[in-house]
Structure 1
Amino acid sequence: MLTKGDEYPIHQTAEPIAYSGTDRNFYDRYFFNGYQADGSDFFAIAFGVYPHLNVADAHFSCIRGDVQHCVHASRLLDMERMDLSVGPITIEILQPLKSLRVVVDNYEGISANLTFVGRAFPVEEPRFTRRIGPRTFMDYTRMTQNGHWQGWIEVDGIRRDIDGAVGTRDRSWGIRPIGASDPQPTVPQTIPQFYWLWSPVNFQDGALYFHVNDDAQGRHWNIRAVWCPDGAAAYEMLESDVCEMAVTLKPGWRHAEQAVLKAEFPDGRHVTAVFEPGTAFLMRGIGYGHPEWPHGGWKGALTLAREDIDLTAVEAGRADHLHIQAVSRVTMTLGSESQTGTGILEQLILGAYEPLGLKSIFND
């Protein structure tokens, strides 16, 4: 099966680009978020390609007041991975590893035209490989890049200019659970567990990145902190796995009330960053954990929907309300210098986590 991708020198195996190994959970995804320096006007986009499921889907979501407005779109991939559009949502690669555009052609009153420009070369995060017993749960690579936005977003006739907004985009590809759940359980069966924090932050002269995956006992299986000055090449970034983030949860919730990052970089400088989480964006708005619009789910040749989520009705114990990105004010001391910036604290805490005294699946 030949496709447009076969015209480019990007093959990794002897097969056409239409085929990606043999694991049905292979995916290839774009993610973006953006917000003003004061944390307002948050928006996010997800665009995924699932070659073995023959599905592509895309989601756009933005916050206006106490409402999160969403567009969901899914279509038949038809084995053509180079077509970066699903219904009204399109991604354009303007300059690889530097600049991209996202367009939302008006759907039920929601439209956007947004251009992202990276502040420095993307950060390559350590490869994520995790098994549950003998079965591969995750095996993927991700690159992350902070940057600036230009453009506008319109919701129900009200257009807002987002020029000067900052944010983050990432690209990830590999294996993770997608589409319908596997009917064959992993044996012996275990209670689901996942502890994940991800916190890219924009400061005036650079970007701070941190992420961690822990097991139920609090042992790290993937962790990294990075300081990236504006314009830095890959070799000019400071990276460290000597880092920790202490989290204080909101009473009765699995969302952070505060978080404090501490790291030591190879040049001897220490960093302390205090996160004060504010507005919580539900990741279900772009398909993560959505009960009706999960990533890779088969919805038909082309299916679209608008969804409006009341953020005042978010519930502590709901599974699809656990995964959030909280827009955060961040005060950082790096060496002897201090500054304040804005970023996000992405959180997904599922199942037991001993350091925080969590024992059940969703709530305690």
Structure 2
Amino acid sequence: MLTAGDEYPIHQTPEPVAFSGSDRNFYDRYFFNGYSADGSVFFAAAFGVYPHLNVMDGAVSILKDGVQKSVHVSRVLNMQRMDTRVGPMSIEVLEPLKRVQLKLEETEGIALDVSFTGRHFPIEEPRFTYRQGPRMLIDCTRMTQNGHWDGTLLVDGEAIEVKSFLGTRDRSWGVRPIGSKDEQPVLPLQIPQFYWLWAPINFPNLSLYFHVNEDGQGEAWNTRSVLAMDGADHDGLLHLNRPKMDVDWREGSRRAASATLHVEDGQGQAHEVSYEPLSTFMMKGIGYGHPSMGHGSYRGDLSVTREDLTPDNLPWQQPDNLHIQAIVKATHKGPGGQTSEGIGILEQLCLGPHAPNGWKDVLDA
């Protein structure tokens, strides 16, 4: 089936662009977040294309004064992957790998019209490949980039100028669980396990990144830490060595009270970054793990839904509340005692056993 995308030189297989290999869980997604200098206003958005489910969806969510207000949208893709609009929400690439426009026309009191400009060339993270038994659950590539936002937000009649906001965007594509759950269990049956931390931080003249996936024994199966000075090109990104994050968990929970990253630069000099959470953003507010409006779920020809959440009132151990982004104040201590302060997020999704923390079951703490 030929579509508008076939007019562009973007093919990756001998087939038309409408087809993406053979895995029904193939996806192609945008993610964004942005925050004021003091972290008091935070917004995030996701926008995904699911070619083999013939669905395109997205969500915008704004956290302010302890309340998170979201608009979820979904439509039938009709095989047209280049038409990046779902009802009132749209994505436009203004300058590849640098500038992107994100819009939500006013919908039930929520609106957004903002543009993102990257601070440096995007980081390509190591390919994520994760199996449970013989079944491939994740096989994807992701690029990440910090940057500046400009534009406006509207929240129930209150207009907010987005002028000095910082934030992060990523693009990922490949295979991960989407849409309806597979009814056939993975054999042999095992306790679900996933340990994920991600910390992109904006400092005054640089960005610092860390992520890790660990197995139940605490061994990293995917990790990287990168320092990017403003304006750095691909060859100017500094890959750091021996990254290790220590987390002090809030008593009786799997949410971080604080965290510290230890890492070395290319000269073997030690760097330390500490993270102090300020507030909590629920990732289900933009579809991640949402029980009824999850990514790739079929919700009719066009669906537009508003949802309000109060993160501090939601029980952490409920499965759809596990995945969060904590807005954090960060302090970087470099060689020679040099320090700087920044702001960013510490994303957390920790499910199942993890020996270093003494977790033995799905949700013990």
Q: Cα distance 1:21–1:241, how it changes in 2: closer, same or farther (>3 A)?
A: farther
Q: Give the count of matched residue pairs.
A: 364
> How far 1:268 moved relative to its partner?
2.9
The structural deviation recorded for 1:134 is: 1.1
Q: Which one-letter code corresponds to 1:135 in the other structure?
A: R
Distance across 1 between alignment mates of 2:94 and 2:268:
38
| Aligned CA-pair RMSD | 0.9
SS in 2 for 1:163: strand
Distance in 1 separating the partners of 2:200 and 2:271:
14
Provide the identity percentage: 52
Match of 1:50 in 2: 50
* CA deviation vs aligned residue, 1:292-319 (integer Å, no higher than 9, x gap): 1110001111011000102231212211
Question: Whole-Å Cα distance in 1 between the matches of residues 32 and 189 of structure 2?
Answer: 35
Matches for 1:192-203 after TM superposition, within 5 Å: 192-203=192-203
**Partner Cα separation in structure 1 for residue 163 and residue 155 of structure 2:** 17
Residue 251 (structure 2) aligns with: 251
Work out whether 1:232 is the aligned partner of 2:232. Answer: yes
Alignment partner, residue 35 of structure 2: 35
What is residue 361 of structure 1 aligned with on the other side? Answer: 362
3-state SS of 1:290 partner? coil
Note the residue ranges of structure 1 that are not aligned, 5 or more in a row: none
- Aligned residue identity for 2:236: E
Which residue of structure 1 lines up, in the alignment, with residue 270 of structure 2?
270
| Contact kept? 2:140, 2:174, Cα under 8 Å | yes
For residues 329 and 129 of structure 2, the distance between their equivalents in structure 1, rounded to whole angstroms, comes to 31
Cα distance in 2 for residues equivalent to 1:362 and 1:73: 31
**1:286-297 superposed matches below 5 A:** 286-297=286-297
Residue in 2 aligned with 1:114?
114
Q: Distance in 2 between matches of 1:242 and 1:66?
A: 36
Q: Which residue of 2 aligns with 1:317?
A: 317
Correspondence for 1:69 = 69
1:318 maps to a residue whose letter is: Q
TM-superposed CA distance for 1:189, in Å, is 0.8
1:80 and 1:363 map into 2 onto residues whose CA distance is 44
Determine the structure 2 residue equivalent to 1:347. Answer: 348
Query: Structure 1, residues 305-360: CA drift from partner, whole Å, max 9, x if none?
Result: 00010223121221111110001010001222210100100000011111111122
Matched, 1:164 2:194: no
Contact 1:91 1:100 in 2 (8 A): yes
Q: Which amino acid aligns with 1:340?
A: E
Q: Distance in 2 between matches of 1:157 and 1:363?
A: 42
After TM superposition, the structure 1 = structure 2 runs for residues 5-44 of structure 1, keeping only pairs within 5 Å, are 5-44=5-44
Structure 2 partner of 1:261: 261
Match of 2:94 in 1: 94
SS in 2 for 1:298: coil
Unaligned runs of 5+ in 2: none
SS in 2 for 1:355: helix
Equivalent residue number for residue 80 of structure 1:
80
Output the CA distance in 1 between the equivalents of 2:166 and 2:280.
17
1:122-176 C-alpha deviation (Å, 9 max, x unpaired): 0000000111111111100000000000011101111111111000000000010
Give the structure 2 partner of residue 176 of structure 1: 176
SS in 2 for 1:172: strand
TM-score, with structure 1 as normaliser: 0.98
- Report the CA distance between 1:241 and its aligned residue: 4.5
Aligned partners of 1:57 and 1:319: how far apart in 2? 22
Structure-to-structure mapping, 1:121-136, within 5 angstroms: 121-136=121-136
> In the alignment, residue 235 of structure 1 is paired with which amino acid?
D
- Displacement of 1:101: 0.6
Quick one: distance in 2 between partners of 1:342 and 1:310?
Answer: 22
Looking at structure 1, the residues matched to 32 and 245 of structure 2 have their Cα atoms a distance apart, in angstroms, of: 23
Moved more, 231-240 or 167-176: 231-240
Runs of 4+ aligned structure 1 residues displaced above 6 Å come to none
The letter of the residue matching 1:346 is: E
Contact preservation (8 Å) 1:37, 1:341:
no
Kept in 2, the 8 Å contact 1:228–1:238? The answer is yes
Query: What is the one-letter code of the residue matched to 2:185?
Result: P
Contact map agreement 1:316 1:363 (CA 8 A) in 2: no
What SS does the corresponding residue of 1:37 show, helix, strand or coil? coil
SS of alignment partner, residue 325 of structure 2: strand
1:145 has 2:148 as partner: no
Q: Is the 1:223–1:241 contact (alpha carbons within 8 Å) kept by the matching residues of 2?
A: no
Q: With structure 2 as the length reference, what TM-score do the two structures score? A: 0.98
Do 2:280 and 2:312's aligned partners in 1 also have CA atoms closer than 8 Å?
Answer: no
The letter of the residue matching 1:205 is N
What amino acid is aligned across from residue 357 of structure 1 in structure 2?
G
1:114/1:150 contact within 8 Å kept: yes
Instruction: Find the aligned partners of 1:214 and 1:312 in 2 and give their Cα distance.
Output: 27
Inter-partner Cα distance in structure 2 for 1:284 and 1:190:
25
In 2, Cα distance between equivalents of 1:335 and 1:13: 48
2:241, 2:266 within 8 Å by CA — same for their partners in 1? no
The corresponding residue for 1:205 is: 205
- Paired with 1:236 and 1:270, the residues of 2 have a C-alpha distance of 20
